[in-house]
Amino acid sequence: MISDEMMTNDTLKPYFMKNKKWYYFDEENFCYKLTDRAPRKAIESYRKFYDDELIKINGEWHIIQK
């Protein structure tokens, strides 16, 4: 999970995370999900964010770019 503490540089934060009303973290599925308040630009950002593959290696999550 990406926390605010990890986001010291705003350029690392995907657009959909600019407004906490647009998303939430689903603990059960270990992923971010959008709310019905997310605008089109946030939805496009979300799709791009999850275009990469998320895999677990030795108990740690890693993003593998496609």
Model pLDDT for residues 12-66, shown as the tens digit of each residue: 889 999 999 999 998 988 889 999 999 999 988 988 888 876 677 777 666 666 5
> What is the structure's pLDDT at 49?
87
Token readout for 8 is: 């010291």
> What is the structure's pLDDT at 57?
75
Token readout for 7 is: 């986001």
| 23 within 8 A of 35, measured Cβ to Cβ | yes
> What is the structure's pLDDT at 24?
94
Predicted TM-score (pTM) of the model is 0.63
> What is the structure's pLDDT at 30?
86
Alpha-carbon dihedral sign for residues 59, 61, 65, 66 = positive
> What is the structure's pLDDT at 37?
95
